[in-house]
């Protein structure tokens, strides 16, 4: 009962802070999405598809609702099935805006809660653990990827994985190994990046304790328990990982990132980025020169967090693991070559070797995202730093209060701790402030809802193909020719490249002569059962109306719809 009470206190405590730190979301909860106009709508489709596929009894990792008519594998899509699964009950009762926002808010609340449990286990101190949760969940990484990377803001299971890895080392209980595997699985079902980061942290952890403790790591049975966790993880994840491996070997994919572009700029750790309230106001002249974009270069450490972390490393020997791991993740986030002020220097960094010789590292392609593991380590270090400062402050306070009663001293000491930790939490929150939180309101053209009422199944060409096109697909629920996919295969793209008319509309290929174009269009649209072409600009107006002479059935709400039958 005490554990449940503590969890509820933590949950509602971080929930209140989340409402404050994500202002003005609480006033736009039902009308806006907590994302910008980019990748967030891909994740709206992901949640909708998870429900639709499971309700229909089809495989969630393959769909023909995208890249119709052949369909496409979603093994390399940022599907984040965990978020999709927890969203399913809510999709029956709430609007997609509300469902999406609930998942985002859940990640903020639970990331704080899980970091609290990790630091409280290490320190057995409630207030520093709570502040550590604030550092982790409200760090710039979280806000920045809140622009649309639902898979990356789901970082709530990383601290719990680390917690049970520690317990697996320190306690001879099989349940800890099982829970280590469970939280590794949950991280994998949120993001493949987090699956890899958990593995990298585990390697660092094992090597660190082998160097520090020698044979003790073997004699205490840790490696056996860790092997058990790895085995459980492998068995549970093999139905997804094995097809991924086979598909990767047998097919070529596009969309992989260039790590030289998506590396963390050294300045980005010390200057607030465009996601920050202060960065937007005062530092745009600096961060606008960094490579990548705002979602990927928001690595600001915060000077209060940095000072507390450095102080902890200097004062407390227990911090060595977190200092070493944090430094390694910091270096990895810098990418293959050093970037400073938007300029790349020909100074090779360790990531270059990993990228060249370790396949699963190469497939990620965005080294900046290692920053979340640096933030995890620094959150722990902040907890250690606060404990050491608390002792100094309380010692000074007791010296001043020696003449008072024991009861007065106890109440006074408690008050001092609460005030001191509260001030630190407030200052950290102010330094990490990112309000107003980015939200987007989407007006759905009436024609999409009209299509949803049509029970017949057919294909639709919706151009230009953007992330928001996927959101519209959740409204009309028809198959899209093409569609925004994280890692499309060349096999899937070949249909768009090689099919006449479609290649002109979707890939910019030259149009056939007029009479031939009309003949080909009639054949292609009939053969593949393509009913409508929806355009959002006038780019293809002459081709569709003058050459193909397709009738317009709707021209309003910013779209033009052509009937292909």
Reported residue count of the chain is: 565
Comparing C-alpha atoms, which of 40, 41, 52 is closest to residue 470? 41
Helices (DSSP H) in 157-315: which residue ranges?
158-170, 174-188, 192-213, 216-219, 222-250, 277-282, 284-287, 303-315
Rounded CA-CA distance 381/309 in Å is: 5
Q: In the chain, how long is the greatest CA-to-CA distance?
A: 101
Neighbouring CB atoms inside 10 A of 459's CB total: 21
pLDDT of amino acid 510: 82
Q: Which residues have C-beta within 8 Å of that of residue 422, sequence separation ≥ 6?
A: none
pLDDT of amino acid 35: 92
Rounded CA-CA distance 104/470 in Å is: 19
Q: Which residues have C-beta within 8 Å of that of residue 526, sequence separation ≥ 6?
A: 565
For residue 73, list its beta bridge partners. Answer: 62
pLDDT in tens, the chain (565 residues): 788 999 999 999 999 999 999 999 999 999 999 998 888 899 999 999 999 999 999 989 999 999 999 889 999 888 999 999 999 999 999 999 999 999 999 999 999 999 999 999 999 889 999 999 999 999 999 999 999 899 999 999 999 999 999 999 998 899 999 999 999 999 999 999 999 999 999 999 999 998 888 777 777 788 999 999 999 999 999 999 999 888 888 888 887 788 888 999 999 999 999 899 998 889 988 989 898 888 889 999 999 999 999 999 998 888 999 999 999 999 999 999 999 988 999 889 999 888 887 777 766 789 999 999 999 999 999 999 999 887 777 666 566 666 565 666 566 667 777 888 888 999 999 999 999 999 999 999 999 999 999 889 999 999 888 888 999 999 999 999 988 888 888 888 888 888 888 888 888 888 788 788 888 888 888 899 999 989 988 777 888 888 888 888 898 888 889 998 8
pLDDT of amino acid 400: 64
pLDDT of amino acid 382: 96
Q: Are residues 64 and 70 in contact, defined by beta-carbon separation less than 8 angstroms?
A: yes
Using one digit for the tens of pLDDT, what is the confidence trace for 211-256?
A: 888 777 777 788 999 999 999 999 999 999 999 888 888 888 887 7
Strands 559-563 and 530-535: antiparallel
Rounded CA-CA distance 17/112 in Å is: 10
Q: How buried is residue 17: exposed, middle or buried, by Cβ count under 10 Å (0-12/13-18/19+)?
A: buried
Q: Residue 373, SS3?
A: helix
Q: How far is CA 492 from CA 70, 486, 520, in A?
A: 8, 13, 21
pLDDT of amino acid 27: 94
Using one digit for the tens of pLDDT, what is the confidence trace for 314-328?
A: 988 889 999 999 999
Q: Are residues 336 and 352 in contact, defined by beta-carbon separation less than 8 angstroms?
A: yes
Looking up tokens 């990418």 gives 335
pLDDT of amino acid 354: 83
Rounded CA-CA distance 428/441 in Å is: 30
Q: Residue 559, SS3?
A: strand
Tokens of 273: 């980025």
Q: Are residues 194 and 158 in contact, defined by beta-carbon separation less than 8 angstroms?
A: yes
pLDDT of amino acid 250: 86
pLDDT of amino acid 342: 87
Q: How far is CA 33 from CA 80, 141, 364, in A?
A: 18, 19, 27
Q: Are residues 481 and 459 in contact, defined by beta-carbon separation less than 8 angstroms?
A: yes
pLDDT of amino acid 295: 84
Comparing C-alpha atoms, which of 157, 13, 3, 132 is closest to residue 80? 157
Comparing C-alpha atoms, which of 189, 108, 94, 182 is closest to residue 141? 108
pLDDT of amino acid 482: 87
Rounded CA-CA distance 239/60 in Å is: 12
Q: Which residues have C-beta within 8 Å of that of residue 397, sequence separation ≥ 6?
A: 412, 413, 416
Comparing C-alpha atoms, which of 95, 25, 81, 31 is closest to residue 53? 81
- DSSP per-residue string spanning 480-520: ESS---SS-BHHHHHHHHHSTTHHHHHH-PPPPPHHHHHHH
19: left (phi over 0), alpha (psi -120 to 50) or beta: alpha
Q: How far is CA 483 from CA 35, 69, 247, 289, 497, in A?
A: 19, 12, 20, 31, 14
pLDDT of amino acid 285: 87
Q: Residue 431, SS3?
A: helix
């Amino acid at each position: 009962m005490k554990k449940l009470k503590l969890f509820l206190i933590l949950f509602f405590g971080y929930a209140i802070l989340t409402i404050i730190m994500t202002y003005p979301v609480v006033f736009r909860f039902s009308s806006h999405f907590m994302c910008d106009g980019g990748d967030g709508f891909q994740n709206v489709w992901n949640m909708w598809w998870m429900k639709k596929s499971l309700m229909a009894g089809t495989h969630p990792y393959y769909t023909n609702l995208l890249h119709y008519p052949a369909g496409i594998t979603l093994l390399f899509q940022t599907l984040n099935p965990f978020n999709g699964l927890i969203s399913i009950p809510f999709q029956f009762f709430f609007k997609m805006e509300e469902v999406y926002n609930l998942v985002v808010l859940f990640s903020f609340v639970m990331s704080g809660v899980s970091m609290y449990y990790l630091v409280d286990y290490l320190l057995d101190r409630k207030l520093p653990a709570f502040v550590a949760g604030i550092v982790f969940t409200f760090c710039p990484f979280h806000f920045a990827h809140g622009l649309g990377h639902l898979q990356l803001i789901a970082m709530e299971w990383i601290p719990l994985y680390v917690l049970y890895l520690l317990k697996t080392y320190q306690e001879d209980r099989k349940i800890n190994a099982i829970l280590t595997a469970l939280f590794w699985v949950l991280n994998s079902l949120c993001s493949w990046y987090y699956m890899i980061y958990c593995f990298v942290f585990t390697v660092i952890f094992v090597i660190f304790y082998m160097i520090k403790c020698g044979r003790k790591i073997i004699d205490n049975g840790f490696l056996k328990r860790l092997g058990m966790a790895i085995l459980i993880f492998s068995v549970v994840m093999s139905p997804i990982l094995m097809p991924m491996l086979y598909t990767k070997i047998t097919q070529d994919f596009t969309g992989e990132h260039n790590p030289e572009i998506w590396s963390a700029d050294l300045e980005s750790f010390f200057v607030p980025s465009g996601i920050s309230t202060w960065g937007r106001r005062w530092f745009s002249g600096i961060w606008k020169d960094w490579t990548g974009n705002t979602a990927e270069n928001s690595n600001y450490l915060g000077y209060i967090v940095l000072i507390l972390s450095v102080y902890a490393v200097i004062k407390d020997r227990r911090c060595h693991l977190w200092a070493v791991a944090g430094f390694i993740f910091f270096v990895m986030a810098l990418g293959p070559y050093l970037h400073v002020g938007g300029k790349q220097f020909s100074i090779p960094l360790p990531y270059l070797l990993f990228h060249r010789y370790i396949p699963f590292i190469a497939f990620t392609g965005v080294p900046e995202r290692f920053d979340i593991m640096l933030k995890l380590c620094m959150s722990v270090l902040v907890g250690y730093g606060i404990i050491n400062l608390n002792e100094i402050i309380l010692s000074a306070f007791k010296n001043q209060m020696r003449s008072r009663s024991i009861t007065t001293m106890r109440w006074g000491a408690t008050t001092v701790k609460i005030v001191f930790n509260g001030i630190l939490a407030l200052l950290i929150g102010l330094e990490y402030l990112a309000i107003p939180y980015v939200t987007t309101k989407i007006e759905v053209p009436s024609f999409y809802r009209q299509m949803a009422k049509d029970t017949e199944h057919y294909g639709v060409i919706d151009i230009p193909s953007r992330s928001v096109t996927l959101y519209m697909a959740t409204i009309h629920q028809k198959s899209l020719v093409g569609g925004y996919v994280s890692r499309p295969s060349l096999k899937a793209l070949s249909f768009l490249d090689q099919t006449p008319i479609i290649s002109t509309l979707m890939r910019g290929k030259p149009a056939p002569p007029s009479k031939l174009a009309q003949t080909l269009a009639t054949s292609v649209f009939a053969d593949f059962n393509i009913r409508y072409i929806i355009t959002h600009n006038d780019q293809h107006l002459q081709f569709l109306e003058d050459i193909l002479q397709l009738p317009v059935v709707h021209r309003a709400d910013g779209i033009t719809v052509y009937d292909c039958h």
